[in-house]
Amino acid sequence: MRRVVVHIDRLALHGLARHDARAVTDALHDELAGLLGRPGTPLAVHQVPVTTVPALRLGAGSTPAALGRAAAGAVATAISGTGTGRVR
């Protein structure tokens, strides 16, 4: 396994209850680790100084964990440049 360091300076969670924020960040962390830490996953660059991920909108009844996974997929896609991120 390789070491990938991702620093997220700001994560805006508009419209989400405070108590759900931890579930979102935990899912984001776990999904990013899985997507970017796999051997053979190409990374387009070694350093991405600024990456903006578009707003994510999930349907009614979606869980905070689903939002975290969706955000991780969008971040992974932006970092890898290959479309390997998945939004579930």
Establish if 85 belongs to a structural domain.
no
Establish if 13 belongs to a structural domain.
no
User: What is the reported pLDDT for 27?
Assistant: 94
pLDDT band at 84 (very low <50, low <70, confident <90, very high): very low
Residue 19: is its pLDDT beyond 90? no
Average pLDDT over all residues of the chain: 77
Name the one residue in this structure whose structure tokens are 């108590």. Answer: 19
Handedness of CA 54, 32, 11, 14 (dihedral sign): positive
Comparing 24 with 8, the larger pLDDT belongs to 24
Number of domains in the chain: 1
Comparing 69 with 6, the larger pLDDT belongs to 69
* Domain around 23: 18-80
SS3 64: helix
The answer to whether the CB of 41 falls within 8 A of the CB of 51 is: no
Percent of the chain at pLDDT exceeding 90: 16
